[in-house]
């Protein structure tokens, strides 16, 4: 396995080779694609997970790989499913693996396909926060308390329960309530909940505006480097549009490489699509990891967590949804 420095060097050499060959062949922008670009619509969430889409758009990577991409803002990945079924949205970015595995299990004739990974967990990027006045100072003290999550019986609750169980805490005594990420800080300060399970950039915003502090790192122990989200299409669309799939995968892989190695680029672009995020916050938040390839074994860790928790769809292996 390459170290990050070696990977950057390898990719730089590869890019130089591609550019040289392209200049010799006379292709446009070094892409190797001729004729009219393929037009697709991509739904994207206002979260860090989807930074690859915006980098690809900002850096002209979609055009380079022969695509004309319309990016449509979506507030929750599953809200795009009806539009994906109708064909008005082709791909959703930042799709929650648990939700799309469950949806695929209920639609075996047309399961969703994972085209690329979006984000995996990194320490400090996904945390349970509490206010100092709550008196909660350890994970064990969450027992009997109420924790806000974006969705119940989903990736957040699975991760928290996994970490708590590993610390010999009775996770069944934690109560979860569904509150959208943007409203969690207000729910915490008003006393509606005792703690919030929050991703970046909402974690940094909550810490800076409310004084909340982390007591559980959801990306630690058994959840270290856990896959969080990916780019999905319907199986039917992927089968009918193999060229679009291939080109999208190449563009996103190139964008993910930038996101995973160039923090300055990520900081520069995040405030452009994440509402309320300042440049100062973008410079201080904890970034997730942005994989440049799909790891079947790692994806199956999500399926295993679902199966252990008895969630619907847990018997379906995520690796079966990967679009080659």
Report all structural domains of the chain as residue ranges with CATH numbers, in order of start.
Answer: 33-122+225-321 (3.40.190.10), 126-223 (3.40.190.10)
Q: Which of 1-5, 22-26, 114-118, 310-314 has the lowest mean pLDDT?
A: 1-5
Q: Which pLDDT does position 324 carry in this prediction?
A: 80
- pLDDT score recorded for residue 24: 36
pLDDT recorded at residue 32: 61
Give 280-298 as a DSSP string: HHHHHSPP-B--SS--HHH
80-128 pLDDT, tens digit per residue, is: 999 999 999 999 999 999 999 999 998 888 999 999 999 999 999 999 9
pTM for the whole structure = 0.86
Residue 264's alpha-carbon distances to 6, 74, 208, in angstroms, are 20, 25, 21
pLDDT in tens, 192-232: 999 999 998 889 989 999 999 999 999 999 999 999 999 99
**Are 95 and 229 in contact, with CB atoms under 8 Å apart?**
yes
Pairwise CA distance, residues 76 & 100, whole Å: 12
Cα separation, 266 vs 79, whole angstroms: 26
Question: Residue 26, preceding bond cis, omega within 30 degrees?
Answer: no
Dihedrals phi, psi of 76, to nearest 5 degrees: -150, 135
């Amino acid at each position: 396995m390459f170290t990050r420095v070696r990977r950057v060097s390898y990719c730089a050499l590869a890019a130089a080779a591609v550019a040289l060959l392209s200049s010799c062949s006379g292709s446009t922008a070094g892409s190797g694609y001729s004729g009219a670009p393929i037009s697709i619509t991509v739904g994207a969430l206002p979260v860090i997970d989807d930074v690859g889409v915006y980098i690809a758009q900002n850096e002209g990577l979609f055009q380079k790989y022969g695509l004309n991409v319309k990016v449509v803002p979506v507030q929750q990945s599953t809200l795009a499913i009806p539009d994906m079924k109708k064909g008005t949205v082709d791909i959703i970015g930042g799709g929650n693996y648990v939700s799309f595995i469950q949806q695929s299990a209920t639609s075996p004739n047309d399961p969703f396909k994972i085209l690329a990974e979006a984000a995996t967990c990194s320490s400090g990027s996904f945390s349970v926060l509490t206010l100092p006045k709550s008196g909660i100072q350890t994970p064990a003290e969450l027992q009997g308390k109420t924790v806000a999550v974006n969705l119940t019986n989903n990736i957040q609750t699975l991760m928290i329960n996994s970490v708590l169980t590993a610390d010999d805490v009775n996770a069944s005594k934690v109560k979860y309530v569904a509150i959208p990420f943007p409203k969690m800080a207000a729910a915490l300060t008003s006393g509606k909940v005792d703690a919030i399970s929050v991703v970046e950039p909402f974690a940094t915003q909550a810490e800076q505006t409310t004084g909340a502090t982390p007591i559980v790192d959801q990306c630690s122990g058994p959840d270290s480097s856990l896959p969080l989200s990916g780019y999905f299409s319907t199986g039917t669309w992927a089968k009918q549009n193999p060229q679009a799939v291939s080109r999208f995968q190449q563009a996103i892989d190139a964008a993910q490489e930038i996101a995973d190695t160039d923090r300055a680029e990520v900081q520069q672009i995040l405030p452009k699509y994440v509402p309320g995020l300042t440049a100062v916050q973008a410079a201080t938040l904890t970034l997730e990891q942005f994989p440049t390839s799909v790891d079947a074994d790692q994806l199956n860790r999500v399926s295993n967590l679902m199966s252990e928790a008895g969630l619907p769809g847990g018997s379906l292996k995520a690796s079966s949804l990967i679009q080659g």
